[in-house]
Structure formats: structure tokens, C-alpha cells
Amino acid sequence: MILGNRQYTRSPVPQKYIWIADYYDDTCLTEYDLESKKPNDFYIINRDKLISFGIVGQGSQLYYNVANGVFHVNQDRFAVSYIVDDEELPLTGRTFLYNDIIQFKNGFSEATLNTKDREGKFKNSIDCFNFGYKKTMNLNDVNINYQCIFSLPDVEIPYLQIKITSDKDLDGQLIIRKNGIVIDRIVAPLKANHSGLINWELR
């Protein structure tokens, strides 16, 4: 197990961050092998054995707990719920398995062209690392598709991409908790079978 062990906060390769899948048997799979530095395929991750999934690098550990969907950003924990008609529907913190994992990178290429011989050089860079999950759940007879992705841009403030779809119209609020304390309430009405999406910057 790597996540939660503070000695593992650096990428073994020039890439700033690498993904890590922690398993319940104290083993793990990393994007690049920590010894040989050979790459591993994201699609061979054993989702049935997952206990946490995230990224490490630049002195940081960023991951979520597969048992409850709560995000851990270094020492802080972020949880999400939805309140409608004074009733709170926890989207995280439930005894579900949030093991439908997602990870991707945003990047760009820069080209330097040599007009004399029509040759040039290309430089590829990653400017945002993303990881998270999607989960289908039934809460108080409401079917909800919930997706939450943590995005770590190169120069901007990290944020959560929160996407919710309900099979019923809901006139409620999105609640964000940090370390168990409500730090934001967002008016977020949902129309049946239409997705609501918000990018929430970390505080």
C-alpha cells in the first residue's frame, strides 16, 4: 500500500504525477513501476481489489477512498451531498463501492518549424492531471448518476468536476464538506434525465 504512506510523494519518472491503484492485500499497481520505471496499463487495474485510487508527485498525495468516494487532498478530506426538501442525500460517505475509476490527462503540443527544410520539432506537455470515478445509486427512490473528478491543472487552482443526473426533477442544493464541515452550498436544481455539471475550486 502506497497511498497514506507519506514517504511516497514523488514520481519515479520525469512526469510530474503518476496514478496509483492501492489494493486490499497491501499490493498496488502504479502507472510506472517504482523500480524498473516501465509503464503499466490503466486497463489492467483490478477494480475488485481496489481500496484507493489517485495520483502522487511533487511532494503530494491526492486520492479517493473506494469504500466511500471521499477525496483526500494531502491532509484534507472532501465529501459531497445533495439536499432537497430539507432531506440530505449523501453522494459520498455511503457504504457503496466507488470503483468505476476514471483517469486522464490534458496536454498540448508546441511546434517549432524550420522553414528552410520544412522540418521542425514538437514538444508535448501535460498541463492537467485528472482522476475520479462514476457511480450509479438509488437514494430515497431517486436514481442518480454521480461523477466526481479531481482536476489538478499546472498553474490554476485544483477543482472538482461534479456531474449529477437524476431521473426526477429536483430543486435542491449541492453541499461540499471539508474535513466534515460544510464550506459551500450551491443552488443546483436538476431536471430529470439532464446532467448538471459544476467545476468547484478547492478551498
Tens-digit pLDDT profile for residues 67-120: 999 999 988 999 999 999 989 999 999 888 999 999 999 886 666 666 555 565
Q: Quick one: average pLDDT of 154-160?
A: 94
pLDDT at 181: 97
Q: Say whether pLDDT at 122 is over 90.
A: no
| Count of CA atoms in the C-beta half-sphere (13 A) of 69 | 25
Range scoring the smallest mean pLDDT among 66-70, 137-141, 189-193: 137-141
CA distance 26 to 85: 43
11 in a domain, yes or no? no
Asked, for residue 3, whether it belongs to a domain, the answer is no
Q: Is the pLDDT of residue 190 over 70?
A: yes
In a domain, 52, yes or no: yes
Paired strand residues for 184: 176
In this structure, the number of other CB atoms found within 10 A of the CB of residue 11 comes to 18
Please check whether residue 1 lies inside any domain of the structure.
no
Q: Are 163 and 132 in contact (CB under 8 A)?
A: no
Residue at 77 is within a domain: yes
- Does position 52 have pLDDT exceeding 80, yes or no? yes
Alpha carbon of residue 91 to chain centroid: 14
> For the chain, what is the domain count?
1
Q: Looking at residue 114, what is its pLDDT?
A: 62
The H or E element spanning position 90 is: strand 87-90
**CA distance to 89, 106, 136, 137, 189, per residue, from 166 (Å):** 12, 28, 10, 10, 10
Expressed as residue numbers, the domain containing 115 is 18-201
- pLDDT above 90 coverage of the chain, percent: 78
Residue 35 lies in a domain: yes
Q: What is the rounded CA–CA span in Å between residue 130 and residue 153?
A: 9
The amino acid occupying position 24 is: Y
How much is the mean pLDDT over the chain? 91
Q: What is the pLDDT of residue 7?
A: 77
Residue 5 lies in a domain: no
Residue 12 lies in a domain: no
Radius of gyration of the chain (CA): 19
